[in-house]
Amino acid sequence: MLKNYIVVALRTLRRNLGYTSLNVIGLALGITCSLLLFLVIRHELSYDRFHSKADRTYRINVDRVTANGPENSAGTPFPMLATIRASLPELTPATHVFNEEGGTFTVLSTNDREPPRKFREERPILFVEPEFFDLFDFETNGVNARQAIKDVNTVLLTQSIAEKYFPGENPVGRVIRMNNVVNLRVTGVIPDAPANSDLPYLMLVDYESSKTVNSFVTDDSWNSTYSNQQIYFALAPGASKTQAEDRLNEIASKLRDRAPGEKYRYTFQPLSEVHFDERYSNFNGRTVDKTTLWALGLIGLFLVLVASINFVNLATAQALRRAKEVGMRKVLGASKGQLMLQYLSETGLITLVALVLSVMFAELLLPYLNQLLELEIQFSIARDAQVALFLLVVLVVVTLFAGFYPALVLSGFQPISALKSKATTARAAGIPLRRALVVLQFTICQILIICTIIVHHQMEYFRSASLGFDKEAVVVIPVPSGKAKDLMALRPQLEAHSAVHASTFALSPPSSNIGLNTSFKYDDFSVERNYSVNLKIGDEHYLKTFNIPLLAGRVYQKSDTIREFMVNETFLRHVGVKNPEEALGKQLQVNGGQSTGKIVGVVKNFHLASLREEIQPVVMSTATSFYFTYNVKIEQSEAKAALAHLQRVWSTAYPDNVFYYDFLDDTIARFYEGEERQAHLFKIFSVIAIIIGCLGLYGLVSFMVAQRTKEVGVRKVLGASSASIVGLFSKDFAALVLIAFLIAAPISYYSMSKWLQDFTYRIDIGSWVFLAAGALTLLIALTTVSVQALKAAFSNPVRALKTE
């Protein structure tokens, strides 16, 4: 029986090759996208799930509520772990993970002839304790990692670093120098960190060495935290998380100072949330919102849905052609169930073909997707049970969804009327449903178009919004910590190039991920404020270099330490000063009373971080020891020459270091990487949805035209114009687009308003977006319809009438 079904199915498909290929291509496109999205979602959900203790592993976070709003951080005070080990034995194994975001590495040679080789790394170098390997199950390839970093100044290299630094050599026993401050002995080579971990180390260094590399780490106060200093631990089986959390807070409350009215709590964040909770950063520098994953899943579903709808539409439209076959089979005694099974297996066959194609497409496209999303996803169905299962589910669901209704329609034909073939029942079959489905397709397409336009628009806004300072043609060059003076001495040489317009030494550019927050006192110092201000450190050329306008007063004078201050407009609003002139000359104290000075200037507000965040109160001052960057405004058209010049001078100041730089606008663009990727995905998938929809529409219309050839012929004989013939077919679809628009507009308005709420600075959703999307869909639909309708309109009416 099945053989007979398949034979008939294959022959039917071949006979209707046009429709079959429309169906197969549409389905294959839809399934390809859903498969790729499945891989992406699965990858994101797999982060750090492979550790055997993953389900009871936590990270310690700090949640604080201030007048500026909630502040969340994954940083911990440096003495905390010792306290935990002494008083909370159920938190075990526990380890520090200290992240130094890259650094300069010098490979010391074993003889005097070769010069040392230098490398610059930008990704995490993790400083960990031996317990790290009790807690996490990273692949070590037989190396006893616990033992390898037991001693101070030891390092485990990953495979790719080992190959880069020691090509063709055995690195074990060799020495590399980090940031020109510490020599590390290589004790082993381990595989690269897996792609799905938020601890993406390039090297693992013993924790003690971090104290030499980073001066923050020697701080033994409970009052400061540093976000790159994190604690991970496993909770003993059966122990209560809340009890342990309470106890830690109880102990800590006795050890740390408390600001008045401050709400402060250490919380245990499950490892499984580290990848998703965007309130805290992770060492991957990337969290994924779970709603984004849901949205991607939904889009995948949508695409398959749109493709399946094509299927239902084309199949029901074709039902008439098959009425005779159905009728005859029924006369011969086929039951309804048998017929349904036959048509379902036909659908299953098409889906299977589409499925095979989509696996091929997916393999082809995956590298591009990886590149776009900066991921390292791999798959092979042969060894991947989950993917195989996913495809099986898709096969069954699509077959049932796409095949069930057409099968029902076909098998429901009455044998006599079906045999009469011109059966009106067959013609009427499924027309209302077909319309509803076309509306659904248009709705999905329009939602995607509207979302794409809005996301794109917001991205444009990110790029073009005035940040309150110039970000174009500004080069940011890191300065080795504590050594700014060496370069400052060369300022005349640095600026002695026609392409260098202005330059400033500073902690960081105006918009930056690096910031100092400090408590402060204003004017008479009597008012205690429970919020902090952002302390921007930069020399007297800061405003000029970034073109930040001054509202009142003057720029502070050159100084090596904090002496004079400038503040921004938000600061004035916070302290309740209306007129900028009023603030001039007022006393200000920062750093817990360590630095006092006068306000000499007020600057116009500029953005401190991404446009997601509000502008904080800012206090600006000078302090040479905090100058970690050298920022240069150059002539864009002579960037190459300017950079060469800067590198030359820079290298004379720091002969042991590696010169590198970033363009400020690139750094700022990176704030929106996540959104940029979303925008890209949206664009790609809307285009695909539209293509799939058009394929279906094209098939449907060509079918309708074929069915109405005779009608068109008669109308033309009676003198109808080609335009009126096209109108005949277009009218219906235009109405459907309109209905879809009425459904799509509110849905997309609602979801996009929600999305935009994440950004403090955002576009308004203009009505033009909806009109444009509606018009675009209408245009696409009518073009698709017209292509077919015109064929009918221009055909010879005599020929059309003869064929009947």
Tokens of 671: 């704030």
Q: How far is the CB of 11 from another protein (least distance, A)?
A: 4
Which of residues 251, 419, 720, 776 is near another protein by CB under 8 A? 419
From residue 267 to residue 306, what is the string marking binding to another protein with x (rule CB under 8 A)? Answer: ----------------------------------------
Which of residues 415, 515, 727, 797 is near another protein by CB under 8 A? 415
Which of residues 255, 416, 496, 771 is near another protein by CB under 8 A? 416
Nearer of residues 3 and 578 to another protein, judged by Cβ = 3
User: How far is the C-alpha of 245 from the C-alpha of 82, rounded, in Å?
Assistant: 16
Nearer of residues 351 and 411 to another protein, judged by Cβ = 411
User: How far is the C-alpha of 596 from the C-alpha of 522, rounded, in Å?
Assistant: 10
Binding flag, residue 11, another protein (CB under 8 A)? yes
Which of residues 113, 115, 173, 332 is near another protein by CB under 8 A? 332
Nearer of residues 17 and 332 to another protein, judged by Cβ = 332
Q: How far is the CB of 419 from another protein (least distance, A)?
A: 6
Q: How far is the CB of 746 from another protein (least distance, A)?
A: 40
Q: How far is the CB of 416 from another protein (least distance, A)?
A: 5
What pairs with residue 784 in β-bridges? none
Q: How far is the CB of 706 from another protein (least distance, A)?
A: 17
Q: How far is the CB of 1 from another protein (least distance, A)?
A: 6
Side chain identity at residue 432, one-letter code: P
Q: How far is the CB of 414 from another protein (least distance, A)?
A: 8
Binding flag, residue 799, another protein (CB under 8 A)? no
Nearer of residues 153 and 338 to another protein, judged by Cβ = 338
What pairs with residue 127 in β-bridges? 98, 205
User: How far is the C-alpha of 126 from the C-alpha of 158, rounded, in Å?
Assistant: 12
Nearest alpha-carbon partner for 129 in 205, 56, 187 = 205
User: How far is the C-alpha of 253 from the C-alpha of 118, rounded, in Å?
Assistant: 46
Handedness of CA 600, 606, 610, 616 (dihedral sign): positive
CB 572 within 8 A of CB 534: no
Choices 116-124, 161-169, 413-421, 437-445 (CB under 8 A): range interacting with another protein: 413-421
From residue 333 to residue 352, what is the string marking binding to another protein with x (rule CB under 8 A)? Answer: xxxx-x--------------
Binding flag, residue 86, another protein (CB under 8 A)? no
Choices 411-419, 461-469, 474-482, 495-503 (CB under 8 A): range interacting with another protein: 411-419
Tokens of 9: 């199915």
Q: How far is the CB of 795 from another protein (least distance, A)?
A: 24
User: How far is the C-alpha of 747 from the C-alpha of 759, rounded, in Å?
Assistant: 20
Nearer of residues 8 and 236 to another protein, judged by Cβ = 8
Q: How wide is the angle at C-alpha 327 spanned by C-alphas 321 and 332, nearest 5°?
A: 140
User: How far is the C-alpha of 599 from the C-alpha of 584, rounded, in Å?
Assistant: 5
From residue 13 to residue 52, what is the string marking binding to another protein with x (rule CB under 8 A)? Answer: --x-------------------------------------
Q: How far is the CB of 355 from another protein (least distance, A)?
A: 24
Nearer of residues 243 and 424 to another protein, judged by Cβ = 424
CB 217 within 8 A of CB 211: yes
Tokens 């009469």 correspond to: 420
Name the burial class of residue 416, with classes exposed (0-12), middle (13-18) and buried (19+) by CB atoms within 10 angstroms of its CB: exposed
User: How far is the C-alpha of 74 from the C-alpha of 92, rounded, in Å?
Assistant: 19
Choices 385-393, 414-422, 642-650, 660-668 (CB under 8 A): range interacting with another protein: 414-422
Nearer of residues 326 and 681 to another protein, judged by Cβ = 326
Name the burial class of residue 383, with classes exposed (0-12), middle (13-18) and buried (19+) by CB atoms within 10 angstroms of its CB: exposed
Name the burial class of residue 15, with classes exposed (0-12), middle (13-18) and buried (19+) by CB atoms within 10 angstroms of its CB: exposed
Torsion of CA 400, 404, 406, 412, to 10 degrees: 160
The count of chain residues that interact with another protein, using the rule CB under 8 A, is 23
Nearer of residues 328 and 360 to another protein, judged by Cβ = 328
Binding flag, residue 408, another protein (CB under 8 A)? no
804 three-state secondary structure: coil
How far from 527 is each of 354, 523, 524, 597, CA to CA, in Å?
71, 9, 8, 17
Binding flag, residue 6, another protein (CB under 8 A)? no
Nearer of residues 314 and 789 to another protein, judged by Cβ = 314
Choices 6-14, 146-154, 630-638, 728-736 (CB under 8 A): range interacting with another protein: 6-14
Q: How far is the CB of 411 from another protein (least distance, A)?
A: 11
From residue 311 to residue 330, what is the string marking binding to another protein with x (rule CB under 8 A)? Answer: -------------xx-xxxx
Q: How far is the CB of 732 from another protein (least distance, A)?
A: 24
Residues constituting the chain: 804
Nearer of residues 147 and 335 to another protein, judged by Cβ = 335
Q: Which residues touch 181 (CB under 8 Å, ≥6 apart)?
A: 212, 213
User: How far is the C-alpha of 697 from the C-alpha of 782, rounded, in Å?
Assistant: 10
124 three-state secondary structure: strand
Q: How far is the CB of 346 from another protein (least distance, A)?
A: 11
Tokens of 688: 């695909």
Q: How far is the CB of 353 from another protein (least distance, A)?
A: 18
Looking from the CA of 45 toward its CB, the CA atoms found within 13 Å total: 13
Side chain identity at residue 601, one-letter code: G
Which of residues 255, 331, 388, 431 is near another protein by CB under 8 A? 331
**Taking the mean position of all CA atoms in its chain, how far away is CA 3?**
48
Binding flag, residue 596, another protein (CB under 8 A)? no
Q: Which residues touch 331 (CB under 8 Å, ≥6 apart)?
A: 415, 419
Binding flag, residue 529, another protein (CB under 8 A)? no
Nearest alpha-carbon partner for 699 in 358, 441, 445 = 441
Nearer of residues 183 and 338 to another protein, judged by Cβ = 338
Nearer of residues 142 and 337 to another protein, judged by Cβ = 337
Q: How far is the CB of 323 from another protein (least distance, A)?
A: 11
The DSSP line for 9-44 is HHHHHHHTHHHHHHHHHHHHHHHHHHHHHHHHHHHH
Side chain identity at residue 220, one-letter code: D
Nearer of residues 325 and 560 to another protein, judged by Cβ = 325
Binding flag, residue 4, another protein (CB under 8 A)? yes
Nearer of residues 324 and 483 to another protein, judged by Cβ = 324
660 three-state secondary structure: coil
Q: How far is the CB of 9 from another protein (least distance, A)?
A: 9
Nearer of residues 193 and 339 to another protein, judged by Cβ = 339
Q: Which residues bind another protein (CB under 8 A)?
A: 1, 4, 7-8, 11-12, 15, 324-325, 327-336, 338, 415-416, 419
